[in-house]
Structure formats: C-alpha cells, structure tokens
Structure 1
C-alpha cells in the first residue's frame, strides 16, 4: 500500500472517529458547503456512503459475471481467468489513479479524504457499467 493511500486511510479514520452525533443526521442529497472541518467531516461521511454503495453494486455485478463465465483451455478461451486478472489490474489502477488525482488536485487537508472517496466512487461506477455491459453480452450469446 502506498504512503499516500496509508495517509488517506489514516485521515479518513481520524475523521470518522471525531464525527459528532450531528453529522450522523446529514442530508447527503444536500451536504453542507464550506471549507471547515465540520463540513469536510459531513461530506466525507456522504462520500463514504456513496463509495460503499457503489462498491457493493460493483461486487454484485462482478460475481454475476464470474458465475456466467467458463474457461475452455482446450480452445484457448479463458474469459473467467481473464476477467479475474483484468479486475485485479483495474483495482490497482483505480487506487493509484485516485491517489494521483487527490495529490494533484490539492486543497485543504481535511478535504483530501473527501476527494479521494469521491474519486473511488466515480471510477467504481464507471467500472460497474463496463461489467454490466460484459454481463449483457455474455447473457445475449
């Protein structure tokens, strides 16, 4: 795990630990604005909620796709092995990409974890769409 990723996880954990009871009642459809720590904490909670939801949908889609694919080494077709390899590579790409984006976008320290979680959500949603398209192709065959 990169030092940047460790830092983001540490800051995220600290933010999660110091969140007030008020932050638990956040309307994620309309999170608070501002650059202060309280706004960052509230937005981080919303970003994490979105990230977890996107990750859950991605995992469900990936499992469905895996269950429909079968390798046939005799014919040289190994789509199940290939999607497993591709998914592992994609996870590494996603993490590195979001580390990079967060680093170059800068901003106040308290917002780095928010930006990182939002990046993870964005790329996860994009990947889910790709996996859903693959699943549709396989099911249509």
Structure 2
C-alpha cells in the first residue's frame, strides 16, 4: 500500500492544480450576474445570457470588418473565422477537462467560450480601427 501513496499524492496535487487554474479562468471572466446566482441552473442561465451578448457583439464586429475588406480579404476572413471557431471550441473543451462530468462543467465551458469570444471581438475590432502605418492590418 505504501507504494501507491506517492502516486495518490501526485494525483491529488494534479487535481488541485487543475482546479486552481480552472478557478482562475472562472474569476477572470466572471459576469456580474453570477454574484447573485443561488443555484447551478441560475449560474448556467447567467453565463448563457452573457455568452449570447458576447456572440452578438462578435457577429456585429465581424460583419463590420467583412464590409470593410476587399473580396479577397473577405474570403480570408471567413476562412480565418471558421478556423478560429473550431479552435475556440476545442480549446475550451481542453481547458475544462478537469470538470468533465461535473455539474460545474457547463459553467466553466461557457465562461471559457465567453472569454475567448470577447478576445476575438477585440482582435477583429482592431482590424477595423487600424492606426495609420500599422502594416499588420488594414490592407485586406
């Protein structure tokens, strides 16, 4: 039995580290409505509303950028956005593996999706509002 104790300790520490990193993800993107969410269902509802608002803002920003770029730029933007969506979903699945099967998983996954969606919105918005001389954007 003593042989398994170090192994059990390592597994426990890994779980603690994963939990701590997931908690930091939760607090980094925590919507205000979570402060008053008394149940898991209320948390999920709050996060769902937040995700919907973030997704709407992303779609508005994406459409504005799409209208601004050339036909060739629009083709590349569509391709990049499809790839980004696949990456975002896969990244959040990976990030929330530690809560897989638990009731908190949907909340953690939703917070991750929301955070990455807001980041992508900022990236696309930066392409719309390029500073003169910035060669990394605006030439599409």
Which bracket does the TM-score occupy, shorter chain normalised? 0.5 to 0.7
CA contact (8 A) 1:54 1:124 kept: yes
Aligned residue number for residue 40 of structure 1: 40
Query: What secondary structure sits across from 2:86 in the alignment?
Result: helix
Aligned residue number for residue 31 of structure 1: 36
Aligned residue number for residue 114 of structure 1: 107
CA contact (8 A) 1:68 1:138 kept: no
Residue 84 of structure 1: how far off its partner (Å) = 0.8
Aligned residue number for residue 69 of structure 2: 69
Task: State TM-score, norm by structure 1.
Answer: 0.66
Change in Cα spacing, 1:113 to 1:29, as seen in structure 2 (3 Å) is: closer
Q: Deviating runs (4+, > 3 A) in structure 1?
A: 138-141
Distance in 1 separating the partners of 2:100 and 2:79: 35
Aligned residue number for residue 11 of structure 2: none
Change in Cα spacing, 1:131 to 1:54, as seen in structure 2 (3 Å) is: same
Residue 70 of structure 1: how far off its partner (Å) = 1.1
Distance in 2 separating the partners of 1:100 and 1:84: 24
Task: State TM-score, norm by structure 2.
Answer: 0.66
- The structure 2 residue matched to 1:99, chosen from 87, 93, 109, is 93
Residue 90 of structure 1: how far off its partner (Å) = 0.2
Q: Which consecutive unaligned segments of at least 5 residues does structure 1 have?
A: 1-26, 34-38, 72-77
- Rg: which structure is higher? 2
